[in-house]
Amino acid sequence: MAITVRTVKRPERTFATEIYLVEIVKGLGLTFRHLFVNLYRHSKRALGLKGLPGSVTVQYPDDPAVLGKRARTRHRLLKRDDGAPRCTACLLCETICPAKCIRITAENAPDVQVEKRAKTFDIDLGMCIFCGYCVEACPVDAIHMDANEVEISAYSRKDMIWNMPELLGDVPKKPSQPG
Amino acid sequence: MGKTVKYKLNGVEREAEEGKLVIEAAKDVGVEIPHYCYHKALGNPGNCRMCIVEVAGAPKPQVSCRTSVREGLDVKTDSDLVKRAQASALELHLVNHPLDCPVCDQSGECGLQDYYMKIGQYQSAVREDKEHKGKRIVAGPHVMLDQERCVLCTRCTRFVDNVTKTHELGIFGMGHSEKIEVTPGMTLDNAYSGNVVDVCPVGALTDRDFRYKVRVWYLDKTDSICPGCARGCNISVHTNTARPWHNDGKRVARLKPRVNMDVNGHWMCDDGRYGFGNLDADRLGKVLRLSPEKAELSWFDMASELAPLLKRDGLAVVASGMLSNEDWAAYKSLFVDTLKIQGHYFSAEPDQIGAEDALLRRKEKVPNLKGAEALGLKSGSFDALAKDLAAGKIKTLYVIERDLSKVWGDKAASLLAKAGVSILQGPNKYALGDSFTYRLPATAYVEEDGRFTNFEGKVGTYLKALSPIGEARPDWAIFELLRKALS
């Protein structure tokens, strides 16, 4: 591909920008516009009238965090109808993972048609960058990032590792202890 | 040599020996024609129809594994007709294929995957249900059979029919229910059964030893020589170091043969392929003095401590054919030229003698006795050494990569105790490792570069695949260190 050059023009410095006064008035104008618009909207709704909602500051962590519908949160391993984990230990998620935070070991599955299953499945959430590639790579829809949990923290790096029963939801994650 | 003729390949004038198969001639100039059934060592039944090429003048496309090069032949391997024919052939191969690549051990090195990425249809026209056949059938001690994945190329049956002549596998059934099966009443347990896994272009025959251990794309491959016997088969060592949690922590995942028509052809035996066990088990990692007072030594302290002990009379050296040519040369300059000792003992005793056959396996289960012979070294008899030890004539016993308990059996421990000072040098601890006075860690063959001379005098080079464990050094480096300390 040929390299193309585009010259970016610098903003010109005029007398108006030099004395700052005009720019300050412009900036404060924006601030005050938001103030009065929100004041109007909040007052209108306080009086029980219909209209657009005013902006509010989320009081996180006192109030729960508001997550988007498609936010990528903690991983969750899914199960088949018969209760066995869906994961067939193909290691595609481990391969695609850019942070190398997934560690899987495989074994024979009791069902010959399934062939293979995970013996251990660990995700180190301390290393995970929440890119979602593992979900994309999974050919059997065994891993989702929809546990709606973002407050993942621990006192040690070891406690950041979630194992298979914890990811499946069979066993609650033990709270991390300091020291 | 036949006469050289001119022919055209994809419009380019080429030269090749007359009568050579087009598929081989094309491979020589770097044009890879897809194929399943054709194998250089197993013949060309022409049943897979993948190697189809267009030959000018022929009414229909031809299979390149049964077309010979002749003067004026005009072959096209990349025309639209060829691509369409190959895509249709591949489509038929996949009609009953379960497409379970995610759980298949072959994925990553599978002929179906490779050619599908290259010439696949990418849209299935098959509406019927797939034919179900046997899965996870234990064909033998080393091989697992999955009939659904098979493309019926018959390479494996030709291997057991023509190479080992043991006929454990065959094609049974007709039409869509045709499948590879183990001959009733037999198991695939010949001494070369692992090779059917190599010749299988798909995941129908997989390695039980390697099953679900590591995905093949994690493996690093290094050219090496099998140390399993005096044949010195050319092999490739597949190692897994980036993800140590796979393969139960073993660094060497598997061994595969490399083609060398002068030594091993395309094959290697099961003893060599699966016999390596765990190279990392019971490794010596530190330079140790075990008695009278247990201490960790540095290499230089060890050399200065051992030098006067080696100079004394009554030194006997037990070595083994595991040493490389370089090791033997350093061995010679230390023990023969500097110390001028007479007692070398390195011949293959019952511990290093095993089954042999006409195909590859040799009786001596060590790779490099010939290298010692080439330097003029001669082994004494182990019985005489045992007598000398019992009589108290040996004051210092230097053992290199040898398990004495396998040479002398139960007597070994008491004989070893008779020597005043005993030194063990090698990668592993072996059974009697704790009874020695000194222990020097040496590298295993996968951790060093070197050369083995095989029983026919052919020299093969093996390359370093892994980094040494602990303070381990190559044997020649230890010999050189001692030689410098002595002079």
Q: Which of the residues B212, B214, B243, B248 would you substitute to probe the A interface, choosing the one with the greatest number of A C-beta atoms within 10 Å?
A: B212
> What's the pLDDT score for residue B1?
61
Q: What is the average pLDDT score of chain B?
A: 92
- CATH class of the structural domain A76-168: alpha beta
> Which residues of chain B lie closer than 8 angstroms to A89, CB-CB?
103, 212
Q: Are B460 and B234 in contact (CB under 8 A)?
A: yes
Identify the burial level of B267 via C-beta atoms within 10 angstroms of its C-beta, where 0-12 means exposed, 13-18 middle and 19 or more buried.
Answer: buried
Contact (CB<8Å) B100/A115: yes
- Choose the most confident range, by mean pLDDT, from A143-147, B277-281, B404-408: A143-147
Span A135-143, average pLDDT: 96
Span B360-376, average pLDDT: 93
- Where are the CATH 3.10.20.740 domain residues in chain B? 4-93
Chain B 175-214, residues with CB within 8 Å of chain A CB atoms: 211-212
N- to C-terminal Cα distance for chain A?
56
Distance from CA of B118 to the nearest CA of A (A): 21
Instruction: Please report the number of interchain residue pairs, chain A to chain B, with beta-carbon separation below 8 angstroms.
Output: 34
For the entire predicted model, the pTM comes to 0.88
ipTM above 0.90, yes or no: no
Each residue of B189-238: pLDDT tens digit? 999 999 999 999 999 999 999 999 999 999 999 999 999 999 999 999 99
Any CB–CB contact under 8 A between B100 and chain A?
Answer: yes
Geometric angle at alpha carbon A9, from A7 and A13, rounded to 5°: 160
> What's the pLDDT score for residue B71?
93
Distance from CA of A158 to the nearest CA of B (A): 16
How would CATH label the architecture of B4-93?
Answer: Roll (3.10)
> Which residues of chain B lie closer than 8 angstroms to A94, CB-CB?
243
Q: What is the torsional sign of CA B35, B36, B42, B46?
A: negative
B175: pLDDT confidence band, cut at 50, 70 and 90? confident
Q: Are A41 and A54 in contact (CB under 8 A)?
A: yes
Q: Are B439 and B415 in contact (CB under 8 A)?
A: no
Distance in angstroms (rounded) separating the CA atoms of residues B210 and A122: 22
Residue B229 per-residue DSSP state = S
CATH of B99-104+128-212, one of 3.30.70.20, 3.30.420.40, 3.40.50.720, 3.30.1280.10: 3.30.70.20
Write the residue in A90, A103, A112 that is nearest to B102 by C-beta.
A90
> What's the pLDDT score for residue B272?
92
Nearest residue of chain A to residue B107 (CA atoms): A90
- Where are the CATH 3.40.50.740 domain residues in chain B? 288-486
Q: Which CATH number does B288-486 carry?
A: 3.40.50.740
Q: What is the average pLDDT score of chain A?
A: 92
Nearest residue of chain A to residue B132 (CA atoms): A113
Any CB–CB contact under 8 A between A88 and chain B?
Answer: yes
CA-closest candidate to residue B486, choices B287, B315, B296? B315
> Which residues of chain B lie closer than 8 angstroms to A90, CB-CB?
101-103
Domains of chain A by residue range: 15-46, 76-168
Identify the burial level of B475 via C-beta atoms within 10 angstroms of its C-beta, where 0-12 means exposed, 13-18 middle and 19 or more buried.
Answer: buried
Distance from CA of A116 to the nearest CA of B (A): 6
CA-closest candidate to residue A122, choices A96, A93, A151? A93
> What's the pLDDT score for residue B29?
94
Distance in angstroms (rounded) separating the CA atoms of residues B98 and B95: 9
Q: Are B293 and B305 in contact (CB under 8 A)?
A: no
